[in-house]
Structures are given as structure tokens and as C-alpha cells.
Structure 1
Amino acid sequence: MRRYCLAAFLLLVLAAPAHAQAPAASLPKVAVFDFELFDTSLQGETDGPRTDEHDRLLRAGDQIRKGLAESGRYAIVDIAPVNAAAHEKNLQACGGCDVQLAQQLGADLAVTGVVQKVSNLILNMNIYMRNARTGHIVASMSADLRGNTDESWTRTASWLLRNRLLAPDFGRPQ
């Protein structure tokens, strides 16, 4: 019985298409940093940072990491070694520190995201992908969202992932 199981397993492995998954070594390595919030709302001015928005920022970054990894087109690099340094900076306005941090991790690409909050009803999610060797922007994308809820943030990140980041030939290093 064991022989038949082993033989069946070997047949499945050998019969699997070679193109099903590229070897991880040949995939572009991506450092996806936690998203940031740019709050220009009156509520943000008077009440300060909100825990629910902080949690949504972390989930948005995790959602993008997971989606890129599951696509089979990218190898996700663990950002833990530089995460504290990344949180000390504004990755959108630090003069390329995201690229420097990605280089420290051995990544080919750096992905950052920012959600601009105009009000609790009007928000905008932006994602930027940069070549970690040159610092050049490979891709940038933006989507408006209405409503400051878990669902609106998740749906917006999902849409950007499907229709921009994972669109055919999108974001490949040049």
C-alpha cells in the first residue's frame, strides 16, 4: 500500500506543470512597509490619532503583503529588522529612506502606502512602488474611498491590489 501511495505522490509531483510556480530566487523581492496616515481632517486636528485607524493602517499593509505573496509574482521580505526605523519616519517625505530601508533588507522593490483623511467620509488610499536599486518610482496608484470603516479600507486595498499592483506586467523592475 505504501508503494502505491508513494508512486501516486511521485506521479503528481512529476506531472505538475513546471510553470506553475517560479522559483522564489527568481521572483522580485518586495519590502511592503506599514501604511501611514496623513490626517487633514478637523476631527484629527481636535481629537488626535485614533486606534481604529492605526489598526486599519497595519491591516492594509498586511493585506497588500498577503496579496502580493499569494500572486506568486513576488517574494515578500520581512520588514521586522527595520520596522521601528520606518515608523520613526514619514516614508512619503523622507528623501528616499524607504529605498534605503528596502536595500538593508535585500529587497528589489519598496512599497509604501498612505491614506489621506480629509474627513470621516472622504479618504484616499495611495500606494507607491519604487525600485530599491535606483529609487525610481515603478508604479503609483490611488483610489478614493467613502466612509472610514474597516470594510471601506479593505475593499479599497483589495481593488488597488487586483486592478493595479497585480495587473499584467505591472510593477516589474526595469
Structure 2
Amino acid sequence: MCFAALLLTGSLARADPPKLAVFDFELIDTSLPGEFYGSRPEEARLERISEQLRKELAESGKFQLLDIAPIRDAARRANLQACGGCDLKLAGQLGADLEITGLVQKVSNLIINLNIYLRDVKTGNMVAAASADMRGNTDEAWTRTMSYLIRNRLLAPNYGRPQ
């Protein structure tokens, strides 16, 4: 009887949200201007969308966001998308259950793709992947695309979960 009362109040049913490490987004710039001049405006936008993602996921209450400051420099020196699992090792050092890496591919100022990868740190399995194309290289386009992916992919009910 006591067990049933605890279950109904949610005391036993609720586990702590998973600990999540969200790495800074990386950029692949294959555009012609990027080859000649570098990607200065995009670098600031990468920081903004990384912080936007952290903030909105923390506010959702579905995750315990971890501070990546202790491993940020090591992560920036690595290519997290092609380092053979170094992202999982770095997230593991923080005690994360899950980790997110992100990639922005700039083909031109008109065609840009934003990708988010959510992985289980212990198994290395992909839990969810989300991708969206944006048209136009503006602060607003980047922010709106990130908001869309958070709202309609990462925080959507049952997204990335087996049916």
C-alpha cells in the first residue's frame, strides 16, 4: 500500500533527467567566399546556436546540462565528427549520460545545413539525429533553424525513441 502511494505521487516513478554534454558546433565551409576569406560571421553564429541549444534544453527540464568548460579546449582541437569517438571520451570525463555534437555545413551564402547528433555516451549509439536546411546566411536564419530543430525534433514527444 505504501509502495502504491509513492508510485502515485511520482516519488519512485521519476528518475533524475539524464546528464547531457552539448559540445560547441563545428563548421564545414565549402563555399567559395569561405575558401578565400575564412568564415568570420559564421564563427560567432556557431557560438550563438551552441548556447541557444544549451539554454533551451536546460529550460525544458528533460536534461541536466553539464558545463563543458573543463574539456572545451580539447574538443575544439579535435574534429568531433571524425575523431573516432573522442567526443564520447570527453563527455565521459564529465560524467555525461548523453552528448550532443553539431555540425553546420555551408555550401554557399544561400545553402546552409544544420545537423545535430545525440548519442549515448556509454554505448556510443546514436539516439537521435536532426537536420535542417536553411536558405540565407543571417543571424535570424540560424536562430530560427535551431529553434525549429529543438522544438520539432529534440524535444518532440517520442522523437529518436523506438516505437
Q: Do they superpose with TM above 0.5?
A: yes
Distance in 2 (alpha carbons) for counterparts of 1:87 and 1:171: 27
Q: Partner of 2:19 in structure 1?
A: 29
Q: Kindly provide the amino acid, as one letter, of the partner of residue 79 in structure 1.
A: I
The equivalent position to 2:142 in structure 1, one of 131, 153, 157, is 153
The equivalent position to 2:120 in structure 1, one of 131, 136, 143, is 131
Q: Partner of 1:100 in structure 2?
A: 89
Cα deviation for residue 171 of structure 1 reads 4.9
Deviations 1:39-58 (A, max 9, x none): 011111111231x2111001
Q: Partner of 1:8 in structure 2?
A: none
Secondary structure at the aligned position of 2:84 is classed as coil
- Report which of the two structures shows the higher radius of gyration computed on alpha carbons: 1
Q: Partner of 2:74 in structure 1?
A: 85
Distance in 2 (alpha carbons) for counterparts of 1:151 and 1:120: 14
Structure 1 gap ranges (5+): 1-17
What TM-score results when the alignment is normalised by the length of structure 2?
A: 0.88
Structure 2 gap ranges (5+): 1-8
Q: Partner of 1:65 in structure 2?
A: 54
Secondary structure at the aligned position of 2:156 is classed as coil
What TM-score results when the alignment is normalised by the length of structure 1?
A: 0.83
Deviations 1:59-105 (A, max 9, x none): 11111111111111101000000000000011111111111111000
1:161–1:28 CA distance, 2 compared to 1 (3 A): same
Q: How many residues align?
A: 152
Q: Percent identity?
A: 64
Q: Partner of 1:13 in structure 2?
A: none
Q: Partner of 2:129 in structure 1?
A: 140
Q: Partner of 1:115 in structure 2?
A: 104
CA RMSD, Structure 1 to Structure 2 (Å): 1.8
1:127–1:133 CA distance, 2 compared to 1 (3 A): same
The equivalent position to 2:39 in structure 1, one of 37, 49, 73, is 49
Cα deviation for residue 26 of structure 1 reads 0.9
